[in-house]
Amino acid sequence: MKLEKGTIIAILRGVYPENASAIAKTLVGNGITRIEVSLSDEDLAIGSIQAIANDLKDTVQLGAGTVIHKHQADRAIAAGATYIITPGWDRELTRYIKSKHVEVYPGVMTTGEIMQAVQEEVEVVKLFPANVLGASYVKSLQGPFPNVQIMGVGGIEIANLKEYYDAGCSSFAIGSDLVPRGATQKDLKEIEIKAKKYLALMQELGS
Helix (H, G, I), strand (E, B) or coil at 160: coil
Helix (H, G, I), strand (E, B) or coil at 159: coil
- Tell the burial category of 175 from Cβ atoms under 10 Å away from its Cβ (0-12, 13-18, 19+): buried
Rounded Cα–Cα distance for residues 110 and 113 (Å): 5
Tell me the C-alpha to C-alpha distance, in Å, between residue 180 and each of 14, 23, 107, 115. Answer: 9, 11, 22, 34
Q: Quickly state the pLDDT bin for 1 (edges 50, 70, 90).
A: confident
pLDDT at 162 > cutoff 80:
yes
| Mean pLDDT calculated for residue range 173-199 | 98
- Cα 84 versus chain centre, distance: 9
For residue 125, the cross-strand partners are: 150
pLDDT at 207 > cutoff 70:
no
Residue 74 CB contacts under 8 Å (≥ 6 apart), including other chains: 100
| pLDDT number for residue 206 | 84
Tell me the pLDDT of the chain averaged across its residues. 97
pLDDT at 149 > cutoff 90:
yes
pLDDT at 120 > cutoff 70:
yes
Domains in the chain (CATH in brackets) are: 7-204 (3.20.20.70)
Tell me the C-alpha to C-alpha distance, in Å, between residue 67 and each of 36, 42, 93, 103. Answer: 11, 9, 9, 13
